[in-house]
Amino acid sequence: MAIQTIKVPDLGGAEGVEVIEISVKVGDSIAEGDSIVVLETDKASMEIPADASGKVTALKIKIGDKVSQGDALIDLEVSGATASAPTPEAAPAPVAAPAPAAAPSASAEVKLIVPDLGGAEGVEVIEVAVKVGDQINSGDSIVVLETDKASMEIPAEVSGTILSLSVKVGDKVSQGFVLGVVSAAGAAPAVAATQTAAPAQAAAVATAPVAAATSVAASDDDDEEDDGSDVYAGPAVRKLARQLGVDLDKVKATGPRGRVQKDDLHNYVKPIVQAVQSGNGAVGSGIPALPVIDYAKFGEIEIVKMSKIKKLTADAMTRSWLNVPRITQFDDADITDLEAFRNSMKAEAEKRGSKLTPLPFIVKAVAAALVAEPSFNVSMHQDGESIVQKKFVHIGIAVDTPNGLLVPVVRNADKKGLFELADEINALAKKARDGKLTPAEMQGGCFTISSLGAMGGNGFTPMVSAPTEVGILGVSRAQMKPVWNGKEFIPRNMLPLSLSYDHRAVNGSDAGRFMTYLVGVIGDLRRLLL
């Protein structure tokens, strides 16, 4: 390991150039060619790339500093390098600036010619910053070129009107390539004729190999196409934006003079990625991403990882929420008689080791309702034009576990007795809480029952388990209520039921019939015999 200091290279003669952006921080691992800082003169800005890979151990500058050639920028811990071979200058062999060169024609027309690119050939044009008819000033960017290492801007040497352009995005150009012709009103032929570097304009300073780049302040044109070309941003940021497919126009700039910085791009992209990964937003769906909130601003917080089950549930709920047009219907079932029967059976249940809660009765009633109203015992077919009608009755039971919600499935519930159902539900619930359910035990459900009765509540709107099911019954806490029997109010034990259904598969009248049947059976279990 050795420490190497990266210094300011030849800036084409410019001195005391302002540091406007520091793209790295201590501890960052950077690769050769990565931008370290952005410097800005009154004409243009330029990025200084690292000429070695390594870990940043110290920053020698801060934003606002004025630097010149040879000033230290950062210390880099370089693996594999020997201490005796530090690179004294970031740009050991600075080449002439890729100065905009212009050659005069017979009239006042001046060709815009690609200058010396530090030896690079066939460099790709990634941006054409002007169009025919544009009035340009000397120093305005004409094109941005990009090698695999860095990008650079080619500014105009003369002021005037663009008469023609002979370059487009994607072209590969080398020194001498004619980019276009300018009608250079008042251009001094001597300037136009020379093809030497223009240090005063030092807009682009290439190190060897071509490695520095510039960008010029945004154009004032309001009628530009919305392609980000009129956004003020450095080449590295533009390159990153292109790689990520980000429209720079949409990125909020926080840099000096409205410059889009790398962090701005990260801040724009991060919430979108997070939203997509968490299922809170879907690319191309038009669903706006949720903003990222820094909760620490409001008080002490702790970030706690969600369990795998919770994450899976979150994904499933989001899928259901986005895909299922859900309706929830509410009703109360009179369980006074059911409870009287259940209490009368408690001793017998205990004797055979069963725990008889209201739930097995509800499962039995739901199974009967699925047989009587098969419109609920379906799945939406993936062809979008059919439904899958099921001839079996498997019922999922939502079980609350320390790791999250699990839904084991009671198979052929319509064919099982109350004790058998009670035992199976208890066994599956225990397995769920012990983390011992097999995937097969959680598959194949036709309908789910989510019972929050032991916890309380008057009703809720459960989520349909898409795509396998189209209905789910929420069970809330039973309580004594005054019920009008036609002559008087009598106390009855009423069980609140919430039936959610996928309105693509089930229509309101189906749901009404299902609920009425269910409430009738729960209210009078003898109906199961019919």
Closest distance to ligand CAO from the beta carbon of 504 (Å)? 20
Stretch that binds ligand CAO, among 74-82, 434-442, 450-458, 509-517 (CB under 6 A): 450-458
- Smallest CA-to-CA distance from 12 within 62, 60, 46 is with 46
Q: Which x/- pattern over 245-274 shows residues binding ligand CAO (rule: CB under 6 A)?
A: ------------------------------
Closest distance to ligand CAO from the beta carbon of 420 (Å)? 14
Stretch that binds ligand CAO, among 36-44, 51-59, 74-82, 396-404 (CB under 6 A): 396-404
Among 1, 306, 340, 454, binds ligand CAO (CB under 6 A): 454
- Compare residues 181 and 359 and give the one whose CB is closer to ligand CAO: 359
Is residue 313 a contact point for ligand CAO (CB under 6 A)? no
User: Cα(first)–Cα(last) distance of the chain, in Å?
Assistant: 85
Amino acid at residue number 494: M
Is residue 359 a contact point for ligand CAO (CB under 6 A)? yes
- Compare residues 291 and 402 and give the one whose CB is closer to ligand CAO: 402
β pairing state of 2-7 and 72-78? antiparallel
- Compare residues 255 and 453 and give the one whose CB is closer to ligand CAO: 453
Closest distance to ligand CAO from the beta carbon of 372 (Å)? 22
- Compare residues 250 and 352 and give the one whose CB is closer to ligand CAO: 352
Where are the strands (E) in 170-298, listed by range? 172-173, 178-183, 213-215
Q: What is the DSSP string of 395-459?
A: EEE-EEETTEEE--EETTGGG--HHHHHHHHHHHHHHHHTT---GGGGS--SEEEEE-TTT--S-
Phi and psi angles of residue 213, each rounded to the nearest 5 degrees, phi first: -150, 170
The count of other CB atoms within 10 Å of the CB of residue 383 is 6
- Compare residues 228 and 453 and give the one whose CB is closer to ligand CAO: 453
# of chain residues touching ligand CAO (CB under 6 A): 19
Closest distance to ligand CAO from the beta carbon of 358 (Å)? 5
Give the per-residue SS3 of 279-319: CCCCCCCCCCCCCCCCHHHCCCCCCCCCCHHHHHHHHHHHH
Is residue 339 a contact point for ligand CAO (CB under 6 A)? no
Site for ligand CAO, residues 156 to 195, rule: CB under 6 A:
none
Closest distance to ligand CAO from the beta carbon of 73 (Å)? 56
Phi and psi angles of residue 22, each rounded to the nearest 5 degrees, phi first: -115, 120
Is residue 318 a contact point for ligand CAO (CB under 6 A)? no
Residues in the chain: 530
Is residue 331 a contact point for ligand CAO (CB under 6 A)? no
Distance of CA 138 to the CA centre of its chain: 42
Is residue 287 a contact point for ligand CAO (CB under 6 A)? no
Is residue 366 a contact point for ligand CAO (CB under 6 A)? no
Return the SS3 of 101. Answer: strand
- Compare residues 232 and 361 and give the one whose CB is closer to ligand CAO: 361
Is residue 200 a contact point for ligand CAO (CB under 6 A)? no
| Residue 503 known to be catalytic | yes
Q: Residue with CB nearest ligand CAO?
A: 453
Is residue 399 a contact point for ligand CAO (CB under 6 A)? yes
Closest distance to ligand CAO from the beta carbon of 335 (Å)? 8
Which two tokens mark 292? 């990222």
- Smallest CA-to-CA distance from 104 within 191, 16, 6 is with 191
Closest distance to ligand CAO from the beta carbon of 457 (Å)? 9
Q: How far apart are CA 216 and CA 203, in angstroms?
A: 8
Among 5, 274, 357, 403, binds ligand CAO (CB under 6 A): 357
Long-range pairs, 127-132, Cβ under 8 A, ≥24: 127/169, 127/229, 127/238, 128/165, 128/167, 128/168, 128/169, 129/153, 129/216, 129/219, 129/229, 130/162, 130/165, 130/180, 131/162, 131/165, 132/162, 132/163, 132/164, 132/165, 132/180
- Compare residues 217 and 413 and give the one whose CB is closer to ligand CAO: 413
Site for ligand CAO, residues 461 to 520, rule: CB under 6 A:
462, 475, 477-478, 495
Closest distance to ligand CAO from the beta carbon of 526 (Å)? 21
Phi and psi angles of residue 502, each rounded to the nearest 5 degrees, phi first: -80, 110
Among 191, 405, 483, 528, binds ligand CAO (CB under 6 A): 405
Is residue 123 a contact point for ligand CAO (CB under 6 A)? no
Stretch that binds ligand CAO, among 14-22, 101-109, 368-376, 452-460 (CB under 6 A): 452-460
Is residue 14 a contact point for ligand CAO (CB under 6 A)? no
Among 155, 234, 358, 445, binds ligand CAO (CB under 6 A): 358
Q: How far apart are CA 459 and CA 354, in angstroms?
A: 28
Closest distance to ligand CAO from the beta carbon of 361 (Å)? 10
Site for ligand CAO, residues 427 to 446, rule: CB under 6 A:
429
Amino acid at residue number 57: T
Is 85:183 a contact under the CB 8 Å cutoff? no
Catalytically annotated residue among 266, 381, 394, 503: 503
Return the SS3 of 342. Answer: helix
Q: How far apart are CA 396 and CA 411, in angstroms?
A: 9
Is residue 420 a contact point for ligand CAO (CB under 6 A)? no
Stretch that binds ligand CAO, among 47-55, 284-292, 381-389, 398-406 (CB under 6 A): 398-406
Return the SS3 of 359. Answer: helix
Which two tokens mark 275? 């939203």
Is residue 398 a contact point for ligand CAO (CB under 6 A)? yes
Name the residues that contact ligand CAO, by CB under 6 A: 357-359, 397-400, 405, 429, 450-454, 462, 475, 477-478, 495
User: Which residues are tagged catalytic?
Assistant: 503
